[in-house]
Structure 1
Amino acid sequence: MTKLSVLDQTPVIHGHTTADALAATLDLARMADELGYTRYWCAEHHGLRGVSNPVPEVLLARIGSITNKIRIGSGGVMLPYYSPFKVAEQFLMLEALFPNRVDLGVGRAPGGDMRTAQAVAGGSYNRGDVFPQQVGELVGLFDGTLPDDHVAHGVLLQPEIVTRPELWMLGSSEFGGLLAAQLGIRFAFAHFINAQYGHLVADAYRERFVSRNGSKPYLAAAVFAICADTETEAAALERAVDLRRVQMAYGLNLPIPSLAQGAGQAFGERERAIVEREKSRSIIGTPERVTEQLHQLQQRFHADELIVLTVAGSYRARLRSYQLLAEAFELK
């Protein structure tokens, strides 16, 4: 059986508030838990009006408290902003609250523009220069293998618990895959960002994987997908996604377009070229079409799991999309 998981950016749709977006995230998390999705990941972003979660570790505590079985995690924490020791403490606390249910996914992207990145980092954003070292520190903190000369060696890491969060590398290039392989940890490739050569990155990750304490390669493909009951509804949802792609290409910092905005937007030649260029990053249609393409992608990646990101022009449509996927994949 194919494992399906959820990646949630807590989108703010035009005409709605951040409170609406947070309520929609909680609704989706409850439903995903009931439908049998494997994990629920929250993404970190800063300074963007279309998404509203700068602190996934906070929202995950709430999600963990309203769910029972589903794993919860970050997809991901943008590690260059932070002290690995502090991140380890945060996710150990989540693991203490929700044992054997917590994932720590880390990435090196800023999750926003460079000016915002410097503000978040207090003027010292490192652009990921020390990211490999930081991830290595997390591995050492969790398994107690920090070198003797490390500043955190011998420091009490709290809370003191036996279990550990599951550590994941997130990436959209060969860099992330090879680093995950070198460290012997799990890897999630962001197909929704880079739809061109992810299967080659996946192959290289498995081929170069170095086992650590018995670890084995495990790869997830993170995919943008929307399922709708009819082709007509799918077309309307895709129109709003197309508008969002155009807005992002023009550097416009706006909420997620609504279905009404998508329906009312006329595209010129330049906008149509942008839409066409970005089509490969999305899978949108009826359950039959989406399921077929997801299976093809899974086979291409030899993926152990698919993580589905759905950003739609209506919160109802987003819930329905995950319902239809759960039915089509016969999740338990």
Structure 2
Amino acid sequence: MMKLINLLIGSLLFTQAEAVAVTMGSVSNNTFLNLPTINVGTENQSLFTDLLDSDLARASFNNQTIFIGSEQVSANNQNPFAISFVNNTIQWFVDSYETGGADGRGVGLVWDGGQEFYAAFAVDGGGSGIESLTTNGWLNSYGMGGGTRSTVLARLDATTGQQTGVLNGMGTFINAILNNGRSNSLIPTGLSLDNQGNVFLSANSFFGPRGIDRTRMEEVDVSGGSPFRTLTVFDSTLNTAQSACAEGWIDPNTNPNFCAEQGFGVASVHESSPVMGLIILGSLILFHRRFIRLS
């Protein structure tokens, strides 16, 4: 059951969706596969078996299985692909998500069996063409710099592997941000959906993780060094980040109780951050006065 908690503290309103992930996705760092010639609409039991035996991320529902991975298209360039089978017949194949000079990889999938699924890509530069998937997103481009690894989430049609109609541009970049404003690496470790359709992305973020307003979070204790374990929760359109948690950091726009429930050590944060102390104090006052709505 979803609980919606509204906390009004001063001029800040925290709206926090507290939900248990009900659909677990698949994320892989072993993404490469040498593909044969693909003929959509034909049976290919050999390829299907090879994909099942591989380390590629995949998702299955009933008799359909979707895989995502990467091809080495030239000596110094990789591009992502996704392929769908119904039983052992190739339903669709897409290898045009990213075709520019940057390296791109297909690293994750999550699908609840509905009309759309979410794909996770990695890309190490901008202007590669994958921006067409993120025009309406929370972060619609790679940003400044190049050479570091950004993640791209995209909502795609499960019957075609593409964005069409209302899905066009329904995706987002997610990365870290350096002091000089250049993008830094964020590497997915988990992908899931909750029962409201929100997208949970777990990742290892290098300095420094972004909060839900896209700016860098507030440092609390980064003595352990990067990467930092993070969780970012997006709405189903990938246009809005609802919560952001990171080990050793706080996002002043995310309910700290949510991060604590996700295992992000908020107790130690309270001791070292006056801002978080005020937030928790305000939270307790509001709980006492019943200014909290649960549904």
* Alignment TM-score, normalising by the size of structure 1: 0.28
Q: Which structure shows the higher helix fraction? A: 1
